[in-house]
Amino acid sequence: MDSDQPALPRKARHRAHHRPARPHAVLLRLSDEEKAGIDAAAAAAQLTPTGYAAKAAVAAAFASRAPSSVNGDLRDLQHELFAARRAVAMFGNNVNQAAAAFNATGQLPDWAADAVRLCATAVARLDEVISAIDRKLR
């Protein structure tokens, strides 16, 4: 494709239709900025603006009534992410300490190899959490 030509927009897909059709409609009144935001989000989700707004409204309406297992799963994933963030912050502190020791003595501390191993373990666990989130979003 020639780089001078703009990319063609992807065709939006329609959300699943129910038969018989849903009996109720809701009219939304939006500012130009709000409409542009919904249009952009709908395009990113490959939905029509109406389908995107409907899915978002229904999801928001039922979010407070979500099964506790869904909230529990998200809470567990959140705790895993917090733990991974702490581990990365601790590793950053270890790197600073190891660099200071190396600058002072010319040798890495004995514990540096263990710190690298623990960091690799934390990153692997973080990859698992990201994969779990990805599976839940599909």
Please indicate whether residue 104 or residue 56 has the higher confidence score (pLDDT): 104
**Degrees (nearest 5) of the Cα angle 106, 111, 117?**
115
**What confidence tens digit (pLDDT) does each residue in 45-70 have?**
888 888 888 888 888 787 766 555 55
Residue 127 scores a pLDDT above 80: yes
Residue 114 scores a pLDDT above 80: yes
pLDDT for 31 equals 92
Average the pLDDT over each of 28-32, 48-52, 83-87 and give the range with the smallest value.
83-87
Beta-ladder partners of 13 = 47
Residues in the chain: 138
Peptide bond into 67 cis (omega under 30): no
pTM of the model: 0.42
Three-class SS of 9-31: CCCCECCCCCCCCCCCCCCCCCC
